[in-house]
Amino acid sequence: MLSRPRSTTARSTIAGTARGFVTLLLAAAVAISGSVGAFAQNVPIVRDAEIEALVRDYARPIFKAAGLANDGIDIVLVNDPSFNAFVTGRRMFINTGALMTAETPNEIIGVMAHEAGHIAGGHQQKLRDQLERAKTMAIIATLLGAGAIVAGATTNSRGLAGAGMGVAAGGGEMAQRSILAYQRTEETTADRSAITYLNATGQSGMGMLKTFSRFQSALSLSGTQVDPYRISHPMPQERIANLETLVKQSPYVNKLDPPALQQRHDMMRIKIAVYMQGQAAASRLMRKNPGSLASRYGDAQIAYLYGNLNAALAKTAALIKEQPKNPYFQELRGDILMKANKPKDAADAYAKAVSLDPAKSGLLPVSLGQALMAIGTPESLKKAAAQISNGLGRDKENAAGYRYLAQAYGELGEIPAADLATAEGHFYSGDYRNAKIFAMRAQQKMKRGEPGWLRAQDIINYAPSGKTK
Ligand SMILES: [Zn+2]
């Protein structure tokens, strides 16, 4: 589940009690060009195996129908209450605000279908290519407004900096927060494509219509929150009317989401509420459907975060009894046991979560590794390093994971491996300067040409945005 803020420039400010649900407050050294290294911005990214798997399950059939089948789509959850979602190609960025707004899977799936329509239509391809090359952190920084600062600070505009500049030139302060802005004609094309994909996958367009109608209505203008999505996707009345016609022509117009998917969606929303918005917001959501599995899941999470660990364990045990194959209930059990200072039992729970996880998330082995580290025997430390490496193999950009890996190697006395792991962590956070320092330190104690040495050399040779520094 969601956990742990961290910072890359101010090293390891580990705050927050929640483990699984990982909130990474990343000081992204926005590595667009050498000259902007001084700009650091706290960037909130949410890492969570359950939510990432669900969002990927939403995207997969749509992307396949759009001919974009790409199993390796990275889901990047941005902790921002506004509505935004876009795809660069390999990565899908989606705000927690979008997930919280959507009452059904179909509403999010509709937006994904529309985004797939933009990709298939080749809209903003050049910008998308630039985004694809950029590091995740740099894109997030741009998303949340830092891009405009960065663009202003650089003399040459290329890559993301150029993108930030272009967006900034297109409109006011709000527009800076919307990376991909489309023409009205492109919206019509994307809507038509979206309906094609939804029909091909036997899904209704009503969710998309509901979402876009909400953006279009005067109501959304009166709110204090400005949704970047609405700014980047023009929604004149006429477009909504045309879309409505298309949606209602579909044979699947009244098709509802499968109940199991709706249940996962409800669990996700309550989880986001519990971890990101607090107990009151979660309780409000849970009251709408008291006694449901999602509400009881929220209840167990609230007990874990704010209440009594024994109660949390009992509530989680009841959930596990109901869905013994749910990896995220095991993960919650592991989180609770870690907080209760029972790393052995926690490791057992995480090991179950890893083995049950059909999505093969890289996050769960890292949690397992942390529990094994906490056990602290030489044997468990070795297993910890292996598990964390396994997790990082599945999920290279999990910068926090490298810190745990470095710690495990450090405790094992394997200092060059620890230095290389630290170098990787800095590298994937975009802090190339420290990455190189640690890569060089690692190389000094490694045999020339061995795999670790070669990887260190890659880091040393890496030049962001084609610049050498
Ligand atoms: Zn659009």
345-378 tens-digit pLDDT: 999 999 999 999 999 999 999 999 999 999 999 9
Confidence at residue 2, expressed as pLDDT on a 0 to 100 scale = 64
Distance from the alpha carbon of residue 23 to the mean position of ligand 1, in angstroms: 28
Distance from the alpha carbon of residue 110 to the mean position of ligand 1, in angstroms: 11
64-111 tens-digit pLDDT: 999 887 666 788 898 888 888 888 877 889 999 999 999 999 999 999
289-313 tens-digit pLDDT: 999 999 999 999 999 999 899 999 9
Distance from the alpha carbon of residue 263 to the mean position of ligand 1, in angstroms: 28
Distance from the alpha carbon of residue 117 to the mean position of ligand 1, in angstroms: 8
Distance from the alpha carbon of residue 191 to the mean position of ligand 1, in angstroms: 8
Distance from the alpha carbon of residue 93 to the mean position of ligand 1, in angstroms: 14
Distance from the alpha carbon of residue 125 to the mean position of ligand 1, in angstroms: 13
Distance from the alpha carbon of residue 182 to the mean position of ligand 1, in angstroms: 6
134 falls in which pLDDT band (50, 70, 90)?
Answer: confident
Q: Model-level pTM?
A: 0.83
Distance from the alpha carbon of residue 118 to the mean position of ligand 1, in angstroms: 7
Distance from the alpha carbon of residue 112 to the mean position of ligand 1, in angstroms: 10
Distance from the alpha carbon of residue 52 to the mean position of ligand 1, in angstroms: 23
Distance from the alpha carbon of residue 57 to the mean position of ligand 1, in angstroms: 21
Q: Alpha helices, DSSP H only, in 134-290?
A: 136-143, 146-153, 159-170, 184-200, 206-216, 218-222, 228-232, 237-249, 259-272, 279-287
Distance from the alpha carbon of residue 229 to the mean position of ligand 1, in angstroms: 8
What is the identity of the amino acid at 84? N
Confidence at residue 12, expressed as pLDDT on a 0 to 100 scale = 30
**Is 411 a residue whose pLDDT tops 80?**
yes
Distance from the alpha carbon of residue 37 to the mean position of ligand 1, in angstroms: 33
Residue 451 CB neighbour total at 10 angstroms: 10
5-47 tens-digit pLDDT: 333 333 232 333 345 555 544 333 333 322 222 233 344 788 9
Confidence at residue 68, expressed as pLDDT on a 0 to 100 scale = 85
Q: Alpha helices, DSSP H only, in 105-145?
A: 105-120, 125-133, 136-143
* pLDDT above 70 coverage of the chain, percent: 79
Residues 6+ apart with CB under 8 A from 161: 32, 33, 36, 147, 150, 151, 154
- Collapsing DSSP to helix, strand or coil, 119 comes out as helix
According to DSSP, residue 255 is labeled: P
- pLDDT: is 61 or 14 the higher one? 61
For range 184-192, the mean pLDDT: 91
Distance from the alpha carbon of residue 231 to the mean position of ligand 1, in angstroms: 10
Distance from the alpha carbon of residue 103 to the mean position of ligand 1, in angstroms: 20
How would you class 256 by CB atoms within 10 Å of its CB: exposed for 0-12, middle for 13-18, buried for 19 or more?
middle
Distance from the alpha carbon of residue 343 to the mean position of ligand 1, in angstroms: 47
| Cα–Cα distance, 108 to 103 (Å, whole number) | 9
- Collapsing DSSP to helix, strand or coil, 348 comes out as helix
Distance from the alpha carbon of residue 114 to the mean position of ligand 1, in angstroms: 6
Confidence at residue 231, expressed as pLDDT on a 0 to 100 scale = 78
For range 418-436, the mean pLDDT: 93
Confidence at residue 72, expressed as pLDDT on a 0 to 100 scale = 67
Distance from the alpha carbon of residue 148 to the mean position of ligand 1, in angstroms: 22
Long-range contacts of 340-348 (CB under 8 A, 24+ apart): 340/309, 340/313, 343/371, 343/372, 343/374, 343/375, 343/376, 344/371, 344/375, 346/371, 346/374, 347/371, 347/372, 347/375, 347/380
Q: Which residues are bridge partners to 76 per DSSP? A: 93
**Is 451 a residue whose pLDDT tops 90?**
yes
Distance from the alpha carbon of residue 53 to the mean position of ligand 1, in angstroms: 24
Report the chain's mean pLDDT, rounded to a whole number: 82
Distance from the alpha carbon of residue 316 to the mean position of ligand 1, in angstroms: 41
Alpha-carbon distance values, 166 to 87, 155, 175 (Å): 18, 14, 10
